[in-house]
């Protein structure tokens, strides 16, 4: 199984913020529909997001999900770490016999390498907030709309 937790969680959080800006109440069912997944899966991802203070859910009729903090203060790194839960980007073999001199050192070497890779990725994610991302998505929307107009004009002209 391919791990879809990060992309899904990201879509959830961004969707919550977009709904907020559009003045629409957001429920796990609506999120699930927009993602094409089960509402239970959405709620499963909401557990760690809620625990870490990224989203806040209110129960009962008229309830729903909203961001627990300002979107400017939530980075994609927060979401990633919350949802993937200790899972490393790469993991070294754990059961190498280490009979020859090299084996043990190769393992250590790889762990350093994996740590460096993960650090790079996390830093990249830390530089992007939910607010940034949503505004970037809005820009994509604009570009898409104008792209449609252009191509239609081109086709008609």
Q: How far apart are CA 22 and CA 151, in angstroms?
A: 28
Does residue 140 belong to the site contacting a copy of itself (CB under 8 A)? yes
Does residue 106 belong to the site contacting a copy of itself (CB under 8 A)? yes
| Residue 67 main-chain phi, psi, to 5 deg | -75, 145
Tell me, by CB under 7 A, how many residues bind DNA: 29
Tokens of 105: 């050192």
Question: At closest approach, how far in Å is the CB of 157 from a copy of itself?
Answer: 26
Mask for 37-76, x = binds a copy of itself (CB under 8 A)? x--------------------------------------x
- HSE, CB side, 13 Å, CA atoms: give it for residue 156: 6
3-state secondary structure at position 11 = helix
- HSE, CB side, 13 Å, CA atoms: give it for residue 145: 6
Residues near a copy of itself, by CB under 8 A: 2, 4, 6-8, 10-11, 14-15, 18, 33-37, 76, 89-93, 95-97, 99-110, 113-114, 116-117, 120-121, 124-125, 128, 133, 136-137, 140-141, 144
């Amino acid at each position: 199984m391919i791990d879809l937790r990060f992309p899904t969680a990201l879509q959830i959080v961004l969707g919550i913020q977009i709904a907020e800006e559009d003045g629409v109440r957001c429920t796990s069912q609506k999120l699930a529909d927009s993602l094409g997944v089960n509402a239970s899966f959405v709620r499963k991802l909401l557990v760690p997001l809620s625990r870490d203070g990224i989203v806040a859910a209110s129960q009962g009729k008229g309830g729903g999900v909203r961001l627990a903090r300002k979107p400017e203060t939530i980075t994609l790194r927060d979401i990633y770490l919350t949802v993937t839960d200790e899972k490393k980007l790469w993991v070294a073999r754990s059961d190498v016999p280490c009979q020859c001199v090299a084996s043990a050192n190769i393992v250590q070497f790889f762990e350093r390498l994996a740590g460096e890779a993960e650090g790079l990725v996390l830093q990249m994610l830390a530089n992007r907030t939910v607010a940034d991302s949503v505004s970037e998505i809005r820009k994509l929307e604009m570009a898409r709309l104008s792209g449609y107009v252009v191509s239609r004009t081109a086709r008609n002209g």
